[in-house]
Amino acid sequence: PEQLLARRDTHFATVQEHYYADPPQIERGWREHLVDTRAQVYVDAVNNVATTGHAHPTLTAAAARQWSLLNTNSRFHYAAAVELAERLAGLAPGGLDQVFLVNSGSEAVDLALRLAMTATGRPRILAAREAYHGWTLASDAITTSLGDNPRALETRPDWVELIDAPNAVRGTHRGPRAAGGYLADLDAQLAGLDTSRLAGVILEPIFGNGGGVLLPDGYLAGVFSRVRALGGVCISDEVQMGYGRLGHHFWGFEQQGAVPDVITVAKAMGNGQPLGAVITTRRIAEAFAAEGSFFSSAGGSPVSSAIGLAVLDVMAAEHLQENAKAVGDSLRAGLEALGSTYDVVGAVHGMGLYLGVELVTDRASFAPATELAERVCEALLDEGCIVQPTGDHKNVLKIKPPLVITAESARFVVSALDRVLARLL
C-alpha cells in the first residue's frame, strides 16, 4: 500500500484527496463490508453510493448481460433508458414526469440550474450556504461548504444569491420555531433584490454536507412558496438524501411536506455506475428547447440504464428503504445513547441511514471538536469501521452506510465508536 500511495502522488493530481493519512488499500467489497489487501475487514459506514451494498450479484449480472449485448448512446432507441425513465417518473410526485439521464450528481445539478434559467428566462439562483452541490462550473458556483473550499464565499459568480444555512441546531435561528426566523430573513433579503431576475432556488432537503441536519419544520415549503410566487423554479437536490436512504421517505422533500418543480438524483441511483437524472415537469423540460437539444454521450446508456433498473429491482426485492428505516432508527438510538455517556456528543442529526454525530467541546456554545473528530475517525479505522468527518467545521461524523447494512453491523458501529470515545477522552 505504501508504494501505491507514493505512485498515486506522482500522476494522480493530489488535489484529489484520499481518506486517511495512511489509507488501507481496498481490494474488494461485499454488502456493507470492505476488505483490504491485508485481509482486514471494515464496515463501510460512509458509502451512500453503494445503496445495494458492494458487489451485488444482481447488478453484476445486469451489467455483464447488457455489456455483452449492447452499449451505445441514447440517440439510439433501446428499452433500458425508456424503462428507467418510466420508473423514475413513477417515483416522482404527480406532474414531474419528464426525465433527463446524465452521468453524475454534478451534471444533474448543472442541468437543473440551466432548466430553471431557461424556463424563466432569468439568470439568478438562490442557494444556501454550507451546501455541496457538485464540481462542474455551475454546480460548484452554488457550492459554499467551507470544508470543501475555504475560499468559497469570496469567489461566487454574481448570478448566485446566497441565503443563510437554515441550521436550527447551531445556526442564526435555533430550536423548533427556527423556520420562522429564517423565512423572515429571506423575506428581507428578497425585498432588497431585483426579483424579476430570479430564476429559482436550489436546496438540499436535508443538509448533507452539514452531516444530515434536518431543515427546520416548514422551511422548505416556505421557501418554495415564496420563490414560486416570484415566478421562480424550485429545485430539490436529492443526490445525497433521496432514493430511499431516509427510510421514512423515498425523497427528502417529503420529510418537509414540500413539492419541488425539479429533482436532481445520482449517487444511489447507479450504485457507483456513473448515472444521474433530472426529473421535472413537461413545461420546464420543453422550455429547454430554447437551448437547442440535450444529449449526453454516455448518459442513460444501455449499461447505465440496466444497472439503474437493477438497483430499483434490488431495492424493492430486499426492502431496502424499510431496512433503512428499521436499522437507521435503532442506529440513531444507539448513537443518541452515547450522548448520555460522552458530553462531546452535542447532537445526533439525520434520519434513516443518513446520520451525523456532531462532536462539540462545549454543549452550551456548541463549539466544534474538529481535531477530536479527525482522531476519532482514524481510531475507528483501527476498529474496522470507516466513518468520515463532515461539515464546515469537520466536526460531524457522517454515518451513511449501504442500505443493506444489518442491525448487527449497525451495533458494531455504535460499539466501535463507544470504545474509541472511551479511549480518546
Could you list the residues that contact ligand PMP (CB under 6 A)?
A: 104-106, 109, 132-134, 204, 208, 237, 239-240, 266-267
Q: Which is nearer to ligand PMP, 237 or 392 (CB)?
A: 237
Please, what is the minimum distance in Å from the beta carbon of residue 241 to ligand PMP? 7
CA 128 – CA 298 distance, rounded (Å): 31
Comparing CA positions, the residue from 116, 415, 166, 157 lying closest to residue 287 is 116
Q: How far apart are CA 129 and CA 59, in angstroms?
A: 37
Cβ closest to ligand PMP, residue 181 vs residue 212: 212
The contacts of residue 423 (CB under 8 Å, 6+ apart) are 379
> At which residue does the C-alpha cell 462531546 appear?
344
Nearest to 130 by CA among 169, 104, 102: 169
CB 316 → ligand PMP: shortest distance, Å? 23
Residue in the shown chain whose Cβ atom is closest to ligand PMP: 105
Q: List the alpha helices (DSSP H) in 127-264.
A: 137-141, 178-191, 219-229, 252-255
Cα angle, residue 207 at apex, residues 338 and 343 outer, rounded to 5°: 20
Choose between 233 and 414: whose C-beta lies nearer to ligand PMP: 233
In the complex, the smallest distance separating the C-beta of residue 367 from ligand PMP, rounded to whole angstroms, is: 26
- Residue 130 or 161 with smaller CB distance to ligand PMP: 130
Q: Tell me the closest approach of the beta carbon of residue 77 to ligand PMP, in angstroms.
A: 27
Q: How far is the CB of 263 from ligand PMP (least distance, A)?
A: 12
Give the number of other CB atoms < 10 A from CB of residue 191: 8
Q: Residue 48 Cβ, how far from ligand PMP at the closest point, in Å? A: 8
Residue 288, Cβ neighbours under 10 Å: how many? 20
Residue type, 128: A
Contact 58, 310 (CB under 8 A): yes
Chain position carrying cell 443518513: 354
* Smallest distance, ligand PMP to C-beta of residue 343, A: 30
Q: In the complex, what is the shortest distance from the CB of residue 284 to ligand PMP, in angstroms, rounded to a whole number?
A: 19
Torsion of CA 251, 257, 260, 264, to 10 degrees: -20
Nearest CB to ligand PMP, comparing residues 110 and 383: 110
Complex with ligand PMP: residue 138 or 381, whichever CB lies closer: 138
Smallest gap from residue 107 Cβ to ligand PMP (A)? 7
Cβ closest to ligand PMP, residue 110 vs residue 261 = 110
* Separation in Å, CA 249 to CA 236, 257, 322, 325: 14, 11, 10, 9
Q: Cβ closer to ligand PMP: 122 or 133?
A: 133
Residues with Cβ within 8 Å of 341's Cβ and at least 6 positions away in sequence, in order, are: 418, 421
Q: Where are the beta strands (DSSP E) in 117-168?
A: 124-128, 160-163
Nearer to ligand PMP, 46 or 345 (CB): 46
